[in-house]
Amino acid sequence: MPIIDQGYQHWSGDLSSHAWRWLAVTRQGIKITMRNRFLRYVLFAAWVPAVALVAMLSGWGLLERKSTMVSTFKQLMRFLNPGVVADPRYYRVEIWQLSYGYFLHVELFFSMILILLVGPSLISQDLRVNALPLYFSRPLRRVDYFLGKLGVIVAFLGMVLIVPAVVAYIFGLLFSLDISVIPDTFAILLEVVAYGLIIALSAGTLILALSGLSRNSRYVALMWLGLWFVSSVVGSMLEGVHHQQMRYAAYAHAQQIQTRRLQADRKAGKTKSEWAREAATWQQSQVAYQASVLHDRQTDWRPLVSYTGNLSRLEDHLLGLNNAWRKLAKLEPSITARNRLLARNTGPQFPWYWSAAVIMFLFGLSLCILNLSIRSLDRLK
């Protein structure tokens, strides 16, 4: 059997720019990751809130146009104040803000699940099979390797955060048929995209740093669960205990007031049933508790313990969700009803830059870990 020696053949193709060489790493990472069937199920489930967002914005556009097709949509909007439904254009910005706020709140959970499925093996698998010398023996810089791996995370998070938000925005414009929607709501779209990029960059660099610390992706997954789930549970427990203390203090104060009133009524010869006194005490304690919650949210530091709590605080600041609820609360007939609405729906109101500082610290720490874990192998290129 003859052996034909072809010798060296010159390659006549076009060399890609050095700035885009990371894209090959991203493309290959996405291709391998999409083989996971469970990941595809999670992606499908993560698009369900996007369908709800599209339906909400489209229905609100029909409501502004007073379309005859919106009668069913009005029935679904019964949880809102009738004044909001009666003047939909005046509350357009607030409804869009809250709709995107609920959408991002749900998608934040799915984003953490996606990172748990995609991120742990991105670098740890290369460390386990000793693939880094093969990467850096080619014209690939360390920053190209990092950007390629980060691009995998950004791509999947963009599928559930940014792309559905843009599609829902387009549907909202199409069903509204009012050119004034663009100047009113375009800033909301930019804020949603910015928030999606913040999640992608922060969580992406963080999971890559954890992935670079171990050759076993299961350990990386456990570390991510500890950072995400355990920190959220601890933050919720701290907030829950603190709220119980405020509730108890409000009830004790209301009971003292009712005791004084009971003594005054006895001196005046008035009688009041025990059930009526207990009902009045409970109602007064609830009013005091709601007022104390609203006041305490301006300085409550406990959400800082949770990683997702810090991301949610940035979401509230970017979209102005607390201000939107304050505007809707003005429709309530009494101060008690307003405080009840705000206490139930508004989030933490401590300075947003506290959470930004936590996110930036984790981002800088992640970059330092990545730089130290891969530095020695960068010379192999």
What's the distance, CA 50 to chain centroid?
Answer: 14
Residues of the chain with pLDDT under 50: 1, 380-381
Residue 381's pLDDT is 43
Domain locations in the chain? 21-380
Distance CA 95, CA 101 (A): 10
Distance CA 181, CA 321 (A): 19
Single-letter amino acid code for the residue at 200: A
Distance CA 305, CA 292 (A): 21
Residue 281's pLDDT is 63
Q: What is the pTM of this model?
A: 0.85
H helix intervals, 1-141: 22-33, 37-46, 48-64, 71-76, 82-86, 92-118, 121-128, 132-136
Residue 247's pLDDT is 72
Residue 1's pLDDT is 46
Residue 284's pLDDT is 66
DSSP state of 230: I
